[in-house]
Structure 1
C-alpha cells in the first residue's frame, strides 16, 4: 500500500478524528483532506510531472498540508528553510530546478508563490539533471555536510512507504495516538514522524521550536499536549527528565548513539526504542523493540531491519576479527542494500547512483558496528578513527565504555594537545563526560576494563554538553572549556593544582595526589613542565615531576627555588 493509499483509507475510516493540532488550531481529517486536495490540484496545474516544488520549512499547518498535498499530486518536494543562507537555498533551487514555493498564509494554509528572487541567484530558468533519476521521486534532502560538502539525496516513495508501515505496526500507532513533530523539516527524521501519524489516523502536534527546547520546556510540552509518540535526539533525552504526568507510550532515540543511562531513565515511563539509518538509505533501516535496561548495560543495540532493505558488514582493512574482554566479535562497516537505497546524489551534471559500480544496489554508510550474539552495536564513524602514539583508536568504542561506568550519562572523546587546542599533532586523548562520577573513581574503573593505551589522559567532567544547531556535539566549545585562565590563578600552589587539573580533567586535584595516578603520562609531563616554566619556574624539569611522590613534594621543591 502506498503512502497516499494509506492516507486515503484513514480519511474514509476516521474523518472526524484530529489530524493536525497546532498551538491555536485543530484540524480534523475531513478538513485536512480538503486542504491537501486543494493544494494538490493547484500544484498539478502549476508544476509539471517530475518537477520539484519547494516547501517553506516553517512549523505549522501550512508545511504539513503542502507535504501531503505534494504526495497526493505525485510531485517531488524539497523543504527550504529561510534561516539557511541565501547561497545554500539558491544552490538547492538551481540544482533541483525549483520554480514554485509553497508558503503559509496568515491563516496557516499553504499557497504557491514564486521562488524568492534572491534564491534564484540570476538563473531565471534553472536546468536540472533530476530527470536522469530512474523511477518516481518523493523528495530531495541535503545531508548535513558534517563529513564534507552537503549532498543532495533523491528518495523514492515506495521504500519510504515500507519504512512508515513498519513504524506504524511496531509502535502501535492508531487513532488514539498523538505524535510530537520534533525534527526540523530539513532533517529527514521528520518524514517518519509525520507519515506514521497521518497514515494511521493519529494526531500530529506541530508547535514552534521554543516549545521543543530540551529540558523543562520539552517536558511541559509532552505533558500538556498528551504526547504518546516521540522521536527525538540523544541530546533531548539526556537533557529532559521524564515524569509521571506524561502519557508517552513509545519513545525513539534517533540521530546519534543511545546510551545505557538514557535507556534506564526513559524506559520507566515508556517503551524506549533505538533507531538507526542514513539519509541515503531512506531515513531508517534498523529499529529495536522496547529496550530492557538490564540488557543494555554493555551497550544499546541498533535493532532489526525495517522497510525494504538488508545489510552486511564490510571487512575493515585491519581484518574482521576484533577482541573484546568477553571474546572475539565481528566488526565492520555497515553496508545497506536493497530498494531502500536512495536513487543517488544529484549533482550539477547527473544523478550518481550509489554502489561501487554505480548500480544503486548498496550504500556504504561509513559507520563501524560490531555484531555480537546476533545483535548489531554501533562503534564509531569510519572517518572518526584516530591514531594516537602509534595506536589506532575507535573513539566511539571508548565512549561506550565510559558510559557504562556508574553515574556517567554521556561521554565525548577527542584528540587534542594538552593545552586544549585541536590538530593532528594532538597528544592527549580527552574525555568530556556528563554525570556525577568522580574522575578518580572513573579512571580506576577504566583501568580495569580498557587497555592502557585506550584510557583517556584527561577525564573532564562538564555540567552540560554543547550542541550545534543541527544536533551535533560542539567540540570547539568543549575545547574552550579546557583553556587555562591564568588570571584566575593566585598562589604558586594554586598554579600547580590548576595546571594539573587542566592536564588531567581532575578539577579538585589536591596536594596529596600523585600526578600519574590522576592520569598524567609522558606527553602531559612535558606539557606540565613547559607550563611551569611559562609561569616562572625556569629550572623546572621532567625529573622533578617523575620523582615527586605527590604534588605537595613537587610544589615544595618549586617554592624553594627562585620564581
Structure 2
C-alpha cells in the first residue's frame, strides 16, 4: 500500500527502540520487541484460522498488556477489531455479536481458552494461552505481510468498529478505516509531543477517546501506562507522572482530588462533552505547567477533528471553552437547514468533511446515507447534530444538540435508545427518559413510566431489568412512576413539566455520637444532596459515584481529615471513615 499501515508504523518504532518499555501494567513491563513478537504470534494464529482484511474479531479484554497484544494482533492480520467492555450487559453483547456476525472473541485467560463459545455465540480465544502455546511450538513470529494475508491490507481496509448509542433503540456500529485512523494519529503525534513521555491508559477500550492513549505512545517510543482515574495509584504503578492524559471534563474533579502522580506533565487533553473554563482553572492551579487541549470529535470523525489549546501562560476564558479549529485535512462547516453556510456569529448545524470521516454504520445503509451526506465541494461530510457558531477570531463554539442525544460523563447517549428499553419492560404502557441536573450540577438520567392498566411497576426492579440490557452509564439513576406523561400544546412530551425525582427515602439509622462522625455525616449529605445521612449509610448506596467520592475526599482533606479517595471507595460509610481518620476535629460527644 502506498501509505504505511498502523502495524507498519508500529514495527518501524520497534526497530528504533526494541528494548524501551512499551507497556506497564500491574507492576509488569513489556518492551517494544516483546509486544511486537506477541502480537505477531497472535496475528499468525488468526491468519491460520482464515481471518484477514474486512473480517471482524471481538476483543473483550480488560486494560492490560494483553489488550495491546490483542488489538495489534488483529490489525497485523489485516482484520478489524470490535472492542467490548468487560462489564458489557449480556443483552447488548448478544446484539453486537449478531449485528457484526462475530465468530471469534479474544478474551483473557479466565477459563475461556478452548475456543468453545456459548451456544449460538462466538468462539473464544484466550490471548495469553494461545501466545504461550504458539511460542512453545515455534510458530511463525515474523511481521505479517500481504503474502501471509488472504487479501491485501490497504488504506481503505476496516480497522475497527465501535458501537455508539442509537436513537431507534439499537446501538450502531461506526466503521473506521486505516486511512482515517492514521490521519488522526499523524495529527496526535505532531500536536501531543508528550505522548513520547508516556500516556495513562484509564478509559474503556470501547470508548474511542481511548485510541489516543493506546496508539499514540507506541508510534513515538513512549510507554502505555495502564491505570485508573477512580482511585489513588495501586502498588506496582509506573513511577513518576505520565506526560499525557486524555479524559472527559467530568474527570477533572477527580484529577484535582487525586495525587499529582496521575496528572500529566505535558498535555491534558479533554473531550467528550462541553468543557467549562472554571473547571480547568481549578485543576491548573495545582498543575500550572501543563497545556490543556479541548479536543472535539464524534466517533464518526475518528476520535478528534477540532482542537482548542490553552498553554500554561494562556488566560482561561470563563464559561464554555471553544472547540477551536479543525485538525489538518479536516473541514468544518456551520450550515443552515438548506446546507447553506451561515455567517460568523450565527448558529447552525456542524458538518464535518475531510480525511477523518468514517466509512459509515455497519450494515445500516439507510442511516449511513442520512448522516453521511454529499459535501458542497465534493466528497462526503458527516452531519453531527451539534449546534455551533464561528467566533470572530475563527474559533468554533459548541452550543448544544439538535436532537435527543446527551453526554453524561463523556458517554454519548441517545435518549431514544434508553426510552425504548424502559418502555419494553412488562407492565409499562409509556415511558420517557430525560437528562436532569442534581444540586451539584452533575447530569444524570431520570426515567418516567406510566403503568399499564392494573399493573404495578417497581422502580428498583425496573432499573435492574434495564441494567441487564444497557451499560451502567445508560441506566436511569432514578425512575418515577406517573399517571400520565405531560404533553405540550402540539402533543410533544413536555419535559419541563416532568416532576423532579424525589430524594431517596433512607431507613433511619444510628445518629452520630462524636463531632467527627457528625461532621462526616453532614459532609456526606452535602455531597450527595440529601437532607440527612446516618452513620452506616453506604455512600454509593445513597447515590454516590466516583466523581462525588472525589469531591468528598477533596473537601475532607481541606477540612483536615487524612483519608483519601481510595478510603472513600473502600470504607464507604461515615462510621468507618471516622474510625479510620478521626483527626479533623477534636473528639468529643455530640450534645
**CA distance in 2: counterparts of 1:192 and 1:183, whole angstroms:** 11
**CA distance in 1: counterparts of 2:13 and 2:209, whole angstroms:** 22
SS at structure 1 position matched to 2:106: strand
In structure 2, the partner of 1:141 is 162
Corresponding position: 1:31 with 2:34: yes
For the aligned residues, what is the CA RMSD?
A: 4.4
Describe the shift of the 1:371–1:120 C-alpha distance in structure 2 as closer, same or farther (beyond 3 A): same
Contact 2:229/2:254 (8 A) holds in 1? no
Residue 340 of structure 1, CA deviation: 1.5
Q: 1:330 aligns with which of 346, 354, 364?
A: 346
In structure 2, the partner of 1:153 is 174
Contact 1:223/1:247 (8 A) holds in 2? no
**CA distance in 2: counterparts of 1:334 and 1:300, whole angstroms:** 17
| Number of residue pairs aligned between Structure 1 and Structure 2 | 402
SS at structure 2 position matched to 1:239: helix
Q: TM-score, length-normalised on structure 2?
A: 0.59
In structure 2, the partner of 1:169 is 190
In structure 2, the partner of 1:117 is 119
Stretches of structure 1 that go unaligned for 5 or more consecutive residues are 122-132, 323-327, 386-394, 397-413, 415-421, 436-467, 489-504, 508-563
Q: 1:194 aligns with which of 189, 209, 214?
A: 214
SS at structure 1 position matched to 2:51: coil
In structure 1, the partner of 2:303 is 283
**CA distance in 2: counterparts of 1:348 and 1:289, whole angstroms:** 36
Describe the shift of the 1:223–1:26 C-alpha distance in structure 2 as closer, same or farther (beyond 3 A): closer
Q: 1:231 aligns with which of 246, 259, 267?
A: 246
Q: 2:266 aligns with which of 249, 267, 270?
A: 249
Corresponding position: 1:363 with 2:350: no
Deviates more, 1:357-366 or 1:89-98: 357-366
Contact 1:301/1:376 (8 A) holds in 2? yes
Residue 76 of structure 1, CA deviation: 0.9
Q: 1:181 aligns with which of 201, 204, 211?
A: 201
Residue 381 of structure 1, CA deviation: 1.1
Contact 2:74/2:81 (8 A) holds in 1? yes
Contact 1:341/1:363 (8 A) holds in 2? yes
Q: Deviations over 1:292-317 (max 9, x none)?
A: 66341253111222254211011159
Residue 337 of structure 1, CA deviation: 0.9
Describe the shift of the 1:147–1:298 C-alpha distance in structure 2 as closer, same or farther (beyond 3 A): farther
Q: 2:223 aligns with which of 203, 207, 213?
A: 203
Describe the shift of the 1:424–1:26 C-alpha distance in structure 2 as closer, same or farther (beyond 3 A): closer
Residue 425 of structure 1, CA deviation: 13
Residue 336 of structure 1, CA deviation: 0.6
SS at structure 1 position matched to 2:372: coil
Deviates more, 1:161-170 or 1:216-225: 216-225
**CA distance in 1: counterparts of 2:185 and 2:155, whole angstroms:** 22
Corresponding position: 1:76 with 2:92: no
Alignment of 1:35-74 (within 5 A): 35-49=38-52, 50-74=54-78
Structure 1 runs of 4+ aligned residues shifted over 6 Å read 218-223, 317-322, 348-351, 422-426, 475-479, 484-488
**CA distance in 2: counterparts of 1:220 and 1:249, whole angstroms:** 24
Corresponding position: 1:3 with 2:6: yes
Q: Deviations over 1:137-179 (max 9, x none)?
A: 111111134785311111101111110111111111354x121
Q: Deviations over 1:317-370 (max 9, x none)?
A: 999879xxxxx8221111011232111112378894542369971111011112
Alignment of 1:295-314 (within 5 A): 295-306=316-327, 308-314=329-335
Contact 2:372/2:383 (8 A) holds in 1? yes
Q: 1:343 aligns with which of 343, 347, 359?
A: 359
Contact 1:90/1:120 (8 A) holds in 2? no
Describe the shift of the 1:261–1:95 C-alpha distance in structure 2 as closer, same or farther (beyond 3 A): same
Contact 2:62/2:85 (8 A) holds in 1? yes
Higher-Rg member (1/2): 1
Q: 1:315 aligns with which of 329, 336, 351?
A: 336
Q: TM-score, length-normalised on structure 1?
A: 0.62
Q: Deviations over 1:65-111 (max 9, x none)?
A: 1101111221111112342233322222222222122122379xx97
SS at structure 1 position matched to 2:315: helix
In structure 2, the partner of 1:259 is 276
Deviates more, 1:249-258 or 1:146-155: 146-155
Describe the shift of the 1:191–1:13 C-alpha distance in structure 2 as closer, same or farther (beyond 3 A): same
**CA distance in 2: counterparts of 1:27 and 1:479, whole angstroms:** 54
Corresponding position: 1:103 with 2:120: no
Stretches of structure 2 that go unaligned for 5 or more consecutive residues are 124-153, 408-414, 416-429, 442-470, 481-497, 509-528, 532-591
**CA distance in 1: counterparts of 2:70 and 2:436, whole angstroms:** 46
Q: Deviations over 1:232-256 (max 9, x none)?
A: 1111112331665555221111111
Q: Deviations over 1:542-561 (max 9, x none)?
A: xxxxxxxxxxxxxxxxxxxx
**CA distance in 2: counterparts of 1:247 and 1:134, whole angstroms:** 33
Q: Deviations over 1:263-286 (max 9, x none)?
A: 212334121111111111112111
SS at structure 1 position matched to 2:256: coil
Contact 1:160/1:307 (8 A) holds in 2? no
